[in-house]
Amino acid sequence: MSDKPHLSKTQLEMVAKCPAQYEHRYVLGKKRPPGVAAVIGSGSHKGAEVDLLHKMETGVLMEEEAVTEYAGDEVKRKWAEETPVRQDGDPDQGGAVDEAVFLSRVYHRELAPRISPVAVEQPRMLEIPGFKYDIMLIPDVEEADKIRDLKTKGKAPAATEAELSIQGAIETLEAKVRGRGELPFVLDILLRGKKKPLTQVSRPTANDHLALLGRVEQVTKLIDAGAFPPTQPGNWWCSKKWCGYYDECAWGARKRVSVGLIDPASLTSRLVQRRAA
């Protein structure tokens, strides 16, 4: 196996959201427990995965009771492995199990019957010769004529979620490189507490793929330079609820702020004459 480093869609998305968060996670190696929503998402994903693998291997879906059991057991396994961070309004373990079971049932009834998988959770590496990094990807589901991804959310996303997806660009580019042609990217969304899923479809273009590769180049420059600026103050993800590094981040709670090259004591101010119109 090659020891060449790689980037993933999670890393690219994290850099886009907050480079400082990327530094904490991938440079300093600080892992944080997942939130309850992420654990529920893992459970529903597991249910979908085993359901579609069974369909791919046998031609029929798994029994619903077995699907939901896999989903609930995955939540219990994740919870035992690392207790998630609970925020106000989050369910306890039993409630999280119930939510994952409910969502896996929605997937089994509403989405799985119309999906014909040829690959499920199959890791792939998009190799970039002569470049420092490759790109790792794990498409949720590949069909003969499309790539699908499953998300679990608390509320309906923006209508442009699939269209602007970094993951969609990566997975359709890799499929194209493999000779699969111009496949659409389908985003299936399970909404917590809702019996009907949402589906968005996008068709990434050659320009989208070029933009993705340009992003990869810029992210690589940032990583190599070791320059990780903070996100814009006030962004919703820069909060104790959504960032596990908030309390220790100089840009978040500002509890650990140190002087770098700019010493506040050295600052001066002068009046600048306005130019005539």
Beta-bridge partners for 134: 6
**Amino acid identity, position 235:** N
pLDDT, tens digit, for every residue of 185-207? 999 999 999 999 999 999 999 99
Task: Give the integer Cα–Cα distance in Å for 171 and 267.
Answer: 49
Which residues in the chain are classed under CATH 3.90.320? 1-30+118-254
177 close to 137: Cβ distance less than 8 angstroms: no
C-alpha dist (Å) from residue 206 to 15, 131, 138, 172, 224: 23, 20, 21, 10, 27
User: What does the alpha-carbon distance between residue 186 and residue 148 come to, in Å, rounded to a whole number?
Assistant: 5
End-to-end Cα spacing for the chain: 66
pLDDT score, position 257: 64
- The tally of CA atoms less than 13 A away on the side-chain side of residue 20 is 16
Q: CA-CA distance, 53 to 56, in Å (whole number)? A: 5
Nearest Cα to Cα of residue 167 among 10, 5, 48: 10
Q: What is the pLDDT of residue 16?
A: 94
Spans of the chain below 70 pLDDT? 1-2, 255-259, 277
The kind and range of the H/E element at 78 are helix 64-81
What's the pTM value of the predicted model, to 2 decimals? 0.89
pLDDT of the residue at 276: 77
**Collapsing DSSP states into helix, strand and coil, what is residue 177?**
helix
78-104 pLDDT, tens digit per residue, is 999 999 999 889 999 999 999 999 999
Q: What is the pLDDT of residue 208?
A: 96
SS3 state of residue 188: strand
Cα 122-125-131 angle, rounded to 5 deg? 170
| DSSP E strand boundaries for the chain | 6-8, 117-120, 124-126, 134-137, 141-143, 147-153, 185-191, 198-202
Distance from C-alpha of 142 to C-alpha of 127, rounded to nearest angstrom: 19
**What does CATH list as the number for 1-30+118-254?**
3.90.320
Task: Supply φ then ψ for residue 243, to 5 degrees.
Answer: -130, 120
